Chains A and B, each alone.
Chain A
Amino acid sequence: MATNLEIISPERRLLAKPADMVVIPGTEGDLGILPDHAPLITSLRGGTIEIYQGQTVTDRFYVSGGFAEVTGTRCTILADDIINVADLDPAQAQADLDMAQAVYDQTDINDETAYRIASDRLIAAEGKLYATSHK
C-alpha cells in the first residue's frame, strides 16, 4: 500500500503518484508520511520534500513554503514555489540567503507580521542552500 502523493502549485498540478513514504518539511519539524497516517493539516517551512520508493529517495523538491493535508490514503501538498532540487543553483541560493539575512537583521522584532515574514524567508533561504548541498 502506498500514499497517493499530490504536489500542486497555484499554477498547475505538478505531480500525482503513489509513494511509499514522503518526508515533508513542516513548520514544527520534518514529517515522514507513511500510509495510514492520522489526518493532519500543517503549514510548511522552506525545505526539501523527499519522495521514497522502498528505501531509496526517487525525487527531491525544494519548496519555499505552503501547506500539506494528510489523510490515511493521500498526502496533498499545496506548494508556494516549488523546484526540483537538481535545478537549484547554489550561488543563487547563497545570494538569496544573504539577502534574507540582511532583511531579517533590519526587521523590527516588535512588528509581529513583518518579523514572521522575514524569519520565514530566512528559514526558506537556509533550506534552499541546504538542499543544494544534498543533491
Chain B
Amino acid sequence: MPSLKTLRNRINSVKSTQKITKAMKMVAAAKLRRAQAQAEAARPYANRMAEMMSALAAGAADNPNAPALLVGTGKTQTHLIVAVTADRGLAGAFNSSIGRYVRSRIRALEAEGKTVKIFAIGRKGRDYLKREFASQIHGDVSFAGKKSVEFKAAEEIAEQIVAAFRAGEFDVCTLVYNRFASVISQIVTESRLIPASAQAAANENAPVAAPVEYEVEPDDGTLLERLLPRNLAVQIYSAILESAAGEHGARMTAMDNASRNAGDMINRLTQIYNRSRQANITKELIEIISGAEAV
C-alpha cells in the first residue's frame, strides 16, 4: 500500500493534468468555431469553381490537345500523394489515421510496381511518414505558428505541385485529408488532383442542373490552362480548411475524454487515499487502546 504522501502527490498531479486537458478542450472549441466559419466561407467559391470545371472539362475531355493537367500524361507510373495533417498532436487518432492510410496506399501502389512520392502538408504527417519513407518525401509545408491559413499559402503549394508535374516528376497526384463530418467524426478522404478529368467525371454523376452551352472566352484551351492550376489551389485550400476544422474537433473530443478519464482516476485515487487514511487512524487507535489496557 503506497504511503499517504505519495497518494496525495499523485492526486495533485492528476488534478493539474485535468486542468490542462480542460483548458485545451475549451481552446479547441473556440478554434473549431472559427475554423468551421472559415471552411464555410470558402465553400461558395469551391462549388462555383467545380461547376465551371465540369462545364468546361466535359467539352475538353475528347480533345487530343487537352491540357495534361486535365487528362494526365497517359501514364500512371509515378504517384504523388499529398497528405494533409495537423501541426500539433494530442488530437486523438487524427494524425495517425492519415499516416496509416497513406502508408497502406503506398504499400499497395508499390506492390503494383509504381513509384510513390509524398508531399506532406503539416508537421505531424511529415514526421510520421519520414520515419518510413524518408527518401520519398518530395516536399513539405507546415503552418505551425500561424493563426489561420490564407489562400496564398495554398496557392504556393499548388504552384509547387504544378511545376513538379510540368517537369515530369510524377503522373498522378492524389490528395489525402481528413474531411470534417462532425465534431466527433473526421473521415479520411482521398481525392484525385491530377488528372482532373477523373474528378470532373465523378462530379457529373451527381445531379447537375441542366447543362448549359457556354460561350467561352478567350478559348477552351487557354481558359483551362488558367483554370486548372487555380482549381488545384482551391481544392488544396478547402482540404486544409476541412482538415483544420477536423483537427480542432478531434482535439476537442480527445481532450474531453482525457478530462473524463482524469476525473475517474481522481475519484479512484481519492477513495484509496481515504481508505488508507482511515486504516491508519484505526490502527493507531487500537495501539493506544491496547497500550492503555496493558497499564
- Report the interface size class on chain A: 20 to 34
Partner of A41 from the list B151, B154, B217 (CB cut-off 8 Å) is B217
**Interchain nearest-CB distance for B221 vs A (Å):** 12
Partner of A28 from the list B55, B213, B218, B226 (CB cut-off 8 Å) is B218
**Interchain nearest-CB distance for A42 vs B (Å):** 4
- Chain B: CB-nearest residue to A69: B52
The answer to whether B56 has its CB under 8 Å from any CB of chain A is: yes
Chain A residues closer than 8 Å to B51, beta-carbon distance: 69
CB within 8 Å for A11 and B215 given contacts A41-B56, A67-B227: no
- Report the interface size class on chain B: 20 to 34
Chain A residues closer than 8 Å to B56, beta-carbon distance: 41
**Interchain nearest-CB distance for A41 vs B (Å):** 5
Chain B residues closer than 8 Å to A71, beta-carbon distance: 212
| Cα of A28 to Cα of B151 in the assembled complex, Å | 27
- Chain A: CB-nearest residue to B151: A10
CB within 8 Å for A13 and B218 given contacts A41-B55, A43-B226, A43-B227: no
The answer to whether B49 has its CB under 8 Å from any CB of chain A is: yes
The answer to whether A134 has its CB under 8 Å from any CB of chain B is: no
**Interchain nearest-CB distance for A84 vs B (Å):** 18
**Interchain nearest-CB distance for A59 vs B (Å):** 19
Chain B residues closer than 8 Å to A40, beta-carbon distance: 214-217
| Cα of A8 to Cα of B40 in the assembled complex, Å | 13
B42 touches A76 (CB 8 A): no
- Chain B: CB-nearest residue to A71: B212
The residue among A6, A10, A69 with the most chain B CB atoms within 10 A of its own CB is: A10
The answer to whether A19 has its CB under 8 Å from any CB of chain B is: no
